[in-house]
Amino acid sequence: MQAFLGDADQLSLAQFTVSHPNSPVFNPPQGSDLVSWINKNFTEMFEDIPNEPNMELNGIQAVRVLYPRSPQSPGFEAIYYLHNDLLFEIGLLALDNEDNVELYDQLLSTFRLEE
């Protein structure tokens, strides 16, 4: 989902994605520990990966990490969770815009997984 949010003179691109790329890193071995898997496979992308889940999505443990804003790109946040032994990523773009954060909080508050 993408949308432009904010005042007309300060529009910011809001982007909310949920993905499971078909790659080995998103297909951990059955029974893998979420935090250990994230720390093993994503340390090059994120500096401050927590040592334990730092949020829940409707009762599902998740790891939320921040890729800070740089001169070339807006801030990006990723939320990782396991479902049926598959790793999923929720991506949130441009967190420095309050309108985006409000939208993301609303979307995350309604997040549900279906079996």
| Domains in the chain, number | 1
Asked whether residue 3 is assigned to any structural domain, the reply reads no
Residue 62's contacts (CB-CB under 8 Å, 6 or more residues apart) are 34, 53, 54, 55, 56, 79, 80, 81
**How distant is the alpha carbon of residue 79 from its chain centre?**
3
Kindly state the average pLDDT of the residues 72-88. Answer: 86
Range of the domain at 70: 29-109
The answer as to whether 88 is a domain residue is yes
Q: Does residue 66 sit within a domain?
A: yes
- Asked if residue 80 is part of any domain, the answer here is yes
| pLDDT tens-place string over residues 53-79 | 999 988 899 999 987 777 776 778 899
pTM of the model: 0.82
Query: Is residue 105 domain-resident?
Result: yes
List, for residues 19-33, the tens digit of each pLDDT value: 999 999 999 999 999
Q: Which of the four pLDDT bands, split at 50, 70 and 90, describes residue 80? A: very high
Lowest pLDDT segment from 24-28, 40-44, 66-70, 86-90: 66-70
- Residue 88 to residue 17: CA distance in whole angstroms: 10
- Rounded to the nearest 5 degrees, what angle is found at the Cα of 78, between the Cα atoms of 66 and 89? 165
- Do the beta carbons of residue 80 and residue 86 sit within 8 Å? no
Q: How far apart are CA 112 and CA 50, in angstroms?
A: 23
